[in-house]
Chain A
Amino acid sequence: MTPLVRLRGISKHYGGVPALTDVDLDVYPGEVHAILGENGAGKSTLMKLLAGVVQPSTGHIELNGKPILFASPRAAAAQGLVCMFQELSLIPDLSVAENMLLAHATTRLGFFRRAQLRDAATALARVGAEHVPLEVPVRALSLADRQLTEIAKALMKRPRLLILDEATSALTRERAERVFAVVREMRAEGAAILFISHRFAEVDALADRISVFRNGRHVETFAAGSRSHEEIVALMIGQRLVEFYPPRPLLPAGPGPAPMLSVRGLAWQDDIRGVDLDVRPGEIVGIGGLEGQGQQALMLALFGVLIGVRGEITIAGRRVRKLTPYRAKAPWPGLALVPQDRKSEGLILDLSIIENLRLAALDRAHFSSLANGGAVQRLIERLGLVYRRLDDPVSTLSGGNQQKVVLAKWLLLAPRCLLLVDPTRGIDVGAKSQIYTLLRELAGDGMAILLQSTDQEELVHLCDRVHVFYRGRVNAVLEGAGLASEMLIAACMNLPTTATVTPA
């Protein structure tokens, strides 16, 4: 069988920095081909090459056996190569329908046709996004709904090769399942799907073949299921061994220290309807639940982002009032928030690494020590940040390293309480493991950590206790033996088995 797409001797370098080196890869029609690798392994560059965003420095791409060059995403889409980008390619000010129409190939005398609106609705329904209203501007959608819209938009282009780059990272398990079902349908119809994910569960569920990339090189391609996860991870990271989740310290007997962060009766609009929770120094407390059950709003409320929050927030025994992000980061209460979207909320992409690192601490007295680099240098080493020069734009870093910069910028302030929203979304195994270890160490130093995550594994294996949200309330608190994947899923979906779990 002729491969749909064949890469031969592809290299790509940006300036002098190689991103891909001498890559050969075949993608066949009717297969789901997973691409695995740490950040910086060259996966994104590979996708961009196939989607026409960048052109190879050397080597050539064949489509159905014929050499081809994609000058732009438009040209690639015309050949049926469509990429669903991780940095969403939706236009925030246009409505869902308009975004979908823009992706549609045909017009009549330049005008869109009414039937195309129906196509858009059909595509949305196909990926399980019937609830997304066509006329609402994309900026009003949740991240999860935006991802679904993005996938539906890609489907509208009727791709022969669909590239999914962390396409379901913000989706809950059930929504992701629906998308996977569509991917399987497309495979059955003969389309090829290139699938990038950092979640093994997704790769196991979908992939026919797996290609592992490391340091810009194609390491190996093998049939899914022929290697264990440990073997695959070993291929991805080379010789390094990772102990993925750091061990949880044994809880000391007795009632434990007084809570560092205490929340009572917190409410905001319809999103949060009376939430109580405590985080003690040394604890990593998880916040889970299906998307949009109020978890995101809780994290924003705690950092003073939301207006009109009711209820009590107490830090180290003192009640905080009139919270804003500026007041929240002050020595007291000493809060820090690692936000959901590191590119738009966590970092100033145009500034350098060092400028981003200093940004949160700019108005602190010890700025001179920051400038001299002592504290910064120590933190960078502790986080294992990989960079060339600290003066490089932060945008040149891989996703995992960008997230480390976001973390480091807050850690320079030595916060009492660290709030994290999906800190490992879309970052590679190595960086994930480093971040987990760091969080555990920080907790060990007496920090209170509140971690909101869409990654079930992370909640189950990293956290001491998990509060599960359902319709704006804490539905269940899981800890000890009750903190297991099945219990978590049951609680997320408000299933009756939650009765076996420590009640909230």
Chain B
Amino acid sequence: MRKYRALLLAVFALALLFSLFISLHPRGFSVYVVTIWSNQGILLALAAIAQFFVILVRGIDLSVGPIVALTNVAASYLVHGTPAATALGALAVIALGVVCGLANGTAVVFAGVQPIVATLASGAIFGGLALLLRPVPGGTIDDALSDMMTYDIHGIPTALVILIAVTAAVTWPLRRTRLGLSMYAVGSAEAAAFLTGTRVAAAKLLAYALGGVFASLAGLYVAMVTETGDAGIAPAYTLNSIAAAVLGGVSLSGGIGSPVGAVVGAFILKTVSSAMFFSGLPPLAQPFFEGLVLAIAIVISALGTVRARSRLAVYER
């Protein structure tokens, strides 16, 4: 149970925040409100999963936002037309995410560049590319697909269904397969993983590639929700995806956490800012209170170290 303590705490916090949000919302609990909430949440949730994979192998990805922006812009060119063209376009967008992720992974694994530097540089390139492709927001997205993805199925928001399915599909094999476990091993203790005969380079590359995939899924979903391509959305995702992962119990020192945690963390962040919107607080004061809530949440999730039996336990994390 200890293993899941951070995650349970986060889920509990999310439930509390969600009740608060619903009670503040003028329309209360309704399919419409929950659908909007889900549509907003899934964007950051997918970006947070992207960030999770990179953090898992003891990296950090400052290019998550730029990849979201770049793939969103790509989607605004590619995801429309016949159903086949739309599907192919979506696949091409995901492939673009893989390429971006692998580029990061290659720089880190084979060139030995520190992740924070590598992704800072690559992020600038991806973001710049997005801006060149679409200097002003615009483009077209398949309407039918957009509607399908952003409404609800018998009262359950489609976004939520998709997110749960995707998260489960990626979480389930993570600790049951060699490659999945290898990513945890490499993030936790790279030398030990190497000595164990783990494919260290493959595990890291896979993590970065999965990071690219999920950032591109976020980019695609932004396109579904906004029906435009916008190169300017990058800043909203990079640091928030890191904060979401940390809130969800993902350790920045690598090797600890799960995609579920990242998703819960993302929804906590989104719910806090949505609740702020309806709270009646002056708009200019809202960022301050958002920051305060985030700080408290992070302090609570770090409380485990205060209860340590041994002062050394604090450093063994």
Query: Which residues of A does B touch, CB under 8 Å?
Result: 51, 53, 72-74, 76-78, 83, 85, 87-94, 98-99, 101-103, 107, 110-112, 137, 139, 153, 269, 300, 304-308, 324-325, 345
Please report the C-alpha to C-alpha distance between residue A143 and residue B291 in the assembled complex, in whole angstroms.
42
Q: Which residues of B contact A305 (CB under 8 A)?
A: 310-312
Query: Which residues of B does A touch, CB under 8 Å?
Result: 3, 173, 175-179, 181-182, 184-185, 187-189, 191-199, 255-256, 308-312, 316
Contact A307-B308, Cβ < 8 Å, known A93-B256, A112-B177 = yes
Please report the C-alpha to C-alpha distance between residue A255 and residue B187 in the assembled complex, in whole angstroms.
57
Interface centre among A73, A76, A83 (most CB of B within 10 A): A73
**Cross-chain contact A91 with B196 (CB below 8 angstroms):** yes
- Which residue of chain A lies nearest to B195 when distances are taken between CB atoms in the complex? A89
Q: Which residues of A contact B316 (CB under 8 A)?
A: 92, 139
Q: Which residues of B contact A107 (CB under 8 A)?
A: 177-178
Q: Which residues of B contact A325 (CB under 8 A)?
A: 311
Known interface pairs A74-B199, A92-B188, A324-B311; 6 further A-B residue pairs with C-beta atoms within 8 A, sorted by A's residue number: A91-B184, A93-B255, A94-B184, A102-B181, A112-B177, A305-B312
Please report the C-alpha to C-alpha distance between residue A252 and residue B88 in the assembled complex, in whole angstroms.
92
Interface centre among B173, B192, B308 (most CB of A within 10 A): B192
Q: Which residues of A contact B184 (CB under 8 A)?
A: 91, 93-94, 98
Contact A102-B198, Cβ < 8 Å, known A91-B255, A110-B173 = yes
**Cross-chain contact B255 with A306 (CB below 8 angstroms):** no
Please report the C-alpha to C-alpha distance between residue A233 and residue B308 in the assembled complex, in whole angstroms.
45
Q: Which residues of B contact A72 (CB under 8 A)?
A: 194, 197
Contact A74-B310, Cβ < 8 Å, known A88-B192, A139-B316 = no
**Cross-chain contact A91 with B256 (CB below 8 angstroms):** no
**Cross-chain contact A306 with B195 (CB below 8 angstroms):** no
**Cross-chain contact A112 with B192 (CB below 8 angstroms):** no
Residue pairs across A and B with Cβ atoms less than 8 A apart, 8 shown, are A72-B194, A77-B197, A91-B193, A93-B188, A98-B184, A304-B311, A306-B309, A308-B309
Shortest C-beta distance, B210 to chain A (Å), equals 14
**Cross-chain contact A112 with B312 (CB below 8 angstroms):** no
Please report the C-alpha to C-alpha distance between residue A306 and residue B194 in the assembled complex, in whole angstroms.
33
Shortest C-beta distance, B310 to chain A (Å), equals 5
Q: Which residues of A contact B189 (CB under 8 A)?
A: 90-93
Shortest C-beta distance, B225 to chain A (Å), equals 34
**Cross-chain contact A300 with B312 (CB below 8 angstroms):** yes
Q: Which residues of A contact B310 (CB under 8 A)?
A: 300, 305-307
Q: Which residues of B contact A345 (CB under 8 A)?
A: 312
Shortest C-beta distance, B135 to chain A (Å), equals 44
Please report the C-alpha to C-alpha distance between residue A304 and residue B311 in the assembled complex, in whole angstroms.
8
Shortest C-beta distance, B172 to chain A (Å), equals 10
